[in-house]
Amino acid sequence: MQFPGRPPWLGFLPDFLFDVDDWPERYILKAWVLALVPSILLSVVVGLILHPQTQPDLHLNGVGNILLVVVASPVIETFILALVLAGLTRLLSAGPAAAASALLWGLAHSSAAPAWGLVVWWPFLIMSIAYLTWLHTGFLRAIFVTVGIHALHNCFGVLLAVLLGHT
């Protein structure tokens, strides 16, 4: 196990998430699915229960804006995530730091649309764990893996928005 001190309360997550894979691309795909499927389910549940009036406005009109959401945002947010986790792991062990990071990201995204924060905390939990799992292999490798998960997640959201005509 590569994740530094996996707490028992994260035992419901699959083992692969806490281990470095020989193929980072395979890890990225598996972690993306683990982030995406529950995120979709959370989105449906939040929509059914809260009937949110505001949705995040991503301004997906044009290739430049789509590239911002799919490429630039994951890179920028991953560097911020790395800074947040560097601070949190000075105060907390890895598991609580990943959970606190996810909650902070949920709060940050709630400022754009309140219900959005209830959905995005999950993928940020997965990305925070992935970052901390891969960090011992090198900072840039941890960044690469986390950006990959995040970019795929955003790409799926953009594709869905375009297909549903929400651009």
33, 121 Cβ separation under 8 angstroms: no
**pLDDT confidence of residue 55:** 60
81, 131 Cβ separation under 8 angstroms: yes
1 vs 131, higher pLDDT: 131
The DSSP result for 105-139, as a single string, is HHHHHHTT-TTHHHHHHHHHHHHHHHHHHHHTT-H
Confidence class for position 83, pLDDT limits 50, 70, 90 = very high
146 vs 4, higher pLDDT: 146
Mean of pLDDT over the chain: 89
pLDDT in tens, 112-166: 777 778 889 999 999 999 999 999 999 999 999 999 999 999 999 888 777 877 6
Confidence class for position 20, pLDDT limits 50, 70, 90 = very high
| Distance, CA of 102 to CA of 90 (rounded, Å) | 16
**pLDDT confidence of residue 117:** 80
**pLDDT confidence of residue 30:** 98
pLDDT in tens, 48-61: 887 766 665 566 67
Alpha helical stretches, state H, the chain: 24-50, 63-67, 73-91, 94-110, 116-135, 139-164
> Beta-carbon neighbour count of residue 63 at 10 Å?
8
Q: Is the pLDDT of residue 1 over 60?
A: no
> Beta-carbon neighbour count of residue 44 at 10 Å?
11
| Distance, CA of 91 to CA of 86 (rounded, Å) | 9
Global pTM reads 0.90
| Distance, CA of 140 to CA of 157 (rounded, Å) | 25
| Distance, CA of 40 to CA of 139 (rounded, Å) | 30
Distances (CA, A) of 55 to 30, 109, 152: 28, 11, 20
